[in-house]
Amino acid sequence: MAVTVAGALLTVIETPPVLLTTGIVLLVLGGWAASLCLHEFGHAAVAYRAGDRSVRAKGYLTLDIRRYTDVGLSLVLPIVILLVGGIPLPGGAVWINHGAIRSPGARSLVSLAGPATNLVLGVLLTVAVAIVPMPIGLAVGLSCLAFIQVIAFVLNILPVPGLDGFGVIEPFLPLPARRLAAQLRPWAPLALFILIIGVPGVSAVFFRFGGAVFTAIGGDATLAFAGYGELLFWR
């Protein structure tokens, strides 16, 4: 949060262009890191309400970033992938005791809670940009962060083993399908990431659809893509 606030301050004060870019990068990356915590907290909070009391002992309800599995996989890797490829790839998930969850519907809601958190954050940031007067640099940074939240929702809701979208439907699948998914789970998200960044046209379709969702909730695509240009300044 300190990094996010520092970045926001750099976007609102009179600064040279290089510092404005630095501010937007810090705002977006810091905000993305904070949203990763909220995403995992969403999973844990719903799991706790559904019967898994172990998440409290594991510290998942504290919003302590060190508690969410491996810091490298859950925090550092998603930030690096976002900065290098512009893709908000989800981090490692919290460990949920699914045996303690009362019903398939509740287990489905546990998986849905994470991407739903990203969508809510995207809506809140979009509304803030729309109704609160602010300097253009801050509007660009917040719009980019809002768009990233929407893209994270779209990506993570896909029914791919290892992503939350598959977790939503998994409790209702037959046992053979769940066993096959367990074998694919470690590799499927990485294969999806390679498909998006490596196959011509796939990235454009993905971002076009994400942009349509972003526009549908009231987002300003021009501001968001300007922010992406600043975030990926090295290109």
CA dist 40 → 22, 56, 149, 197, 211 (Å): 27, 13, 14, 25, 24
Q: How many other CB atoms sit within 10 Å of the CB of residue 81?
A: 17
In this structure, is the dihedral angle defined by the CA atoms of residues 42, 48, 54 and 59, taken in order, positive or negative? positive
Which residue is catalytic, options 14, 40, 170, 230? 40
Phi-psi region of 14 (alpha: psi -120 to 50; beta: other; left: phi over 0): beta
In this structure, is the dihedral angle defined by the CA atoms of residues 119, 124, 130 and 136, taken in order, positive or negative? negative
Q: Report the distance separating Cα 88 and Cα 35, nearest Å.
A: 11
For the CA atoms of 96, 152, 42, 175, the dihedral, rounded to the nearest 10 degrees, stands at: -30
Token pair 């909070």 in the structure block, residue: 45
Q: Is residue 40 flagged as an active site residue?
A: yes
Q: Report the distance separating Cα 114 and Cα 110, nearest Å.
A: 8
Q: Report the distance separating Cα 153 and Cα 61, nearest Å.
A: 21
| Catalytic annotation, residues | 40
